[in-house]
Amino acid sequence: MRTTVGIIGAGPAGLLLARLLHNAGIDAVVLESRDRAHVEQRQRAGVLEQGTVDVLRAAGAGERMDREGLRHDGIELRFDRRRQHIDFPALTGGRSVTVYARTEVCKDLVALQPKEGGPLLFEAEALAVEGAGTDRPSVRFRHEGREDVLVCDYVVGCDGFRGVARRAIPASVSRVFERTYPLGWLGILADVPPRTTSWSTPATTAGPPCCPCAPRPSPVSTSRCRRTPTPRSGATSGSGTSSSGGSRRTTPGPCGAGRSPGSR
Ligand SMILES: Cc1cc2nc3c(=O)[nH]c(=O)nc-3n(C[C@H](O)[C@H](O)[C@H](O)COP(=O)(O)OP(=O)(O)OC[C@H]3O[C@@H](n4cnc5c(N)ncnc54)[C@H](O)[C@@H]3O)c2cc1C
């Protein structure tokens, strides 16, 4: 099997990259170790920042997001029992965030792939990247019970922090871009009606518990508390509560675990 760009992983990054390459007339093959249902139902993110919304639109994958996503213009921080509304558009020249679940982003991008894009193989696990650093890298993978090789001009690892692609990059050429923030957030998803229409976040752990909130009338609420970030070595979990380590995100989003207003 041969392609220009071999993409490992059909999460949001791999799927969007495949879409962008298709739009640019570059052929690509996506290998995904899990089945389609897993990709479309895996809960993680609920909030799309403006840059993500813009790139999905530009890629021709934003039609349902624009119809069903919930634009969200601010958060409420709480400190010493005082409330401070943070008005995103006023502070950022009109930018905001959109609540639209990762599951929906993946469904939209997966649906476009067979219609307009190149091959997307589910249950195709990349076993190793070979020839990294040469002009003919390849991916050895297992699909439908047998091993095969995808020969590429480029291999892109969108298989997550612990994926095989990261391990294949020789330490001598590896460069890591990371920014560490001194704080993190603990998000809690609760089956109680929200009290406000903004996210609220207590800025001190000495304050009262966070107040349930959601972007519009909803039986589900998300709250988040500031916490001290923990090292990255621990596995993240997609059930019940979520925590964002200080090295990954700058803005508090909603709890990505469980249901969110944008998910079905
Ligand atoms: C609880 C939680 C809440 C979050 N909330 C938000 C939020 O509100 N907003 C936001 O923007 N971000 C949020 N994030 C972060 C967001 O989920 C990630 O940034 C995003 O999922 C990264 O996408 P990705 O495609 O790079 O990797 P992933 O989503 O991890 O996808 C990697 C894919 O690669 C596949 N794969 C792995 N190994 C192989 C292999 N060997 N062969 C083939 N395929 C393989 C996996 O099955 C998977 O489908 C949240 C994360 C968590 C954990």
Domains of the chain: 5-44+106-168 (3.50.50.60), 75-99+180-244 (no CATH)
Question: For residue 239, what pLDDT band results from cuts at 50, 70 and 90?
Answer: very low
Nearest CA to ligand 1 atom 6: 45
Residue count (the chain): 264
Is the shortest distance between the CB of 258 and ligand 1 below 6 Å? Answer: no
Distance CA 150, CA 72 (A): 42
pLDDT above 70 for 220: no
Burial of 180 (0-12, 13-18, 19+ CB in 10 A): exposed
Give burial (CB, 10 Å; 0-12/13-18/19+) of 75. buried
Nearest-atom index, ligand 1, CA of 243: 1
The model's pTM is: 0.80
Is any ligand 1 atom within 6 A of the Cβ of residue 127?
A: no
Position 226 pLDDT exceeds 80: no
The model's pLDDT over 58-86, given as tens digits with 9 standing for 90+, comes to 999 999 999 999 898 988 887 888 989 99
Residue 113's contacts (CB-CB under 8 Å, 6 or more residues apart) are 15, 18, 19, 30, 120
Is residue 99 within 8 A of residue 69, CB to CB? The reply is: yes
Check pocket membership of 163 for ligand 1, CB cut-off 6 A: yes
**140 Cβ closer than 6 Å to some ligand 1 atom:** no
CA of 204 relative to ligand 1 center, distance in Å: 29
Ligand 1 within 6 A of CB of 188: no
Any ligand 1 atom below 6 A from CB of 11: yes
Cα 259 to averaged position of ligand 1 atoms, centre (Å): 16
